[in-house]
Amino acid sequence: MALLPWRGRVPEERARGGLQEMQDRINRMFDDFFHGFSSLVPWADERLEWLPLVDLSETEDAVHVTVELPGVQAKEVDISLTEDLLTIRGEKKSEKEEKKRDYHRVERSYGLFTRTVRLPAVVDADKVEATFKDGVLTINMPKREEAKTRKVKVEVK
């Protein structure tokens, strides 16, 4: 069973002190383990090497998803949509496989990734727009007409 990797981001106010950092990492590991209601944790796929962070928000007309993918080429990202499940998968390659590098520090994540997110509403697959800027992927998904919340007056008899 693969442990979820540390996401590599530490809010600065907690970044002091080795012990505190270790405590934070352990807390985060437990958070990662128990979290994820709207996000399906892909336990099944052992090849996964890292999990990109995702934001999901919803307005009346659309569902927005942002994914942090620094260093990933747009062509390495595969986005697929099935019913109300959005899957983003791809590979973050390490840049230029030069001669064996002598690493002093490695904190960044590499390799295959997959995130599957359950969308809060049914969206119109034809109108989905995805843009990729500065390593952040933004997916805009307009809702299908019937999914938009409409106020319906209910008569009480």
Q: Draw the binding track, 38-77, toward another protein (x: CB under 8 A; -: no contact).
A: xx-------------xxxxxxxx---x---xxxxxx----
Query: Are the beta carbons of 139 and 86 closer than 8 angstroms?
Result: yes
Contact between 77 and 132 under an 8 Å Cβ cutoff? The reply is yes
Contact 143, 63 (CB under 8 A): yes
Contact with another protein (CB under 8 A): which of 18, 82, 97, 104? 104
Question: Could you tell me which stretch among 41-49, 77-85, 106-114, 122-130 binds another protein (CB under 8 A)?
Answer: 106-114
Closest separation in Å from C-beta 155 to another protein: 28
Minimal distance, residue 46 CB to another protein, in Å: 22
Per the structure block, which two tokens stand in for 67?
């994914």
> Which residues, other chains included, contact 40 with Cβ-Cβ below 8 Å and sequence gap of 6+?
85, 116, 117, 118
User: Nearest distance from residue 55's CB to another protein, in Å?
Assistant: 5
Query: CA angle, corner 145, sides to 41 and 149, nearest 5?
Result: 75
Among 79, 81, 128, 136, binds another protein (CB under 8 A): 136
> Tokens representing 131?
């843009």
Residue of 100, 59, 92 lying closest to 76 (CA atoms): 92
Q: Show the tokens assigned to 39.
A: 């996000």
Given the complex with another protein, which of 29 and 56 has the nearer CB atom? 56
Among 2, 8, 26, 27, binds another protein (CB under 8 A): 8
Where along the sequence are the contacts to another protein (CB under 8 A)? 7-12, 15, 38-39, 53-60, 64, 68-73, 95, 101-109, 117, 120, 133-136
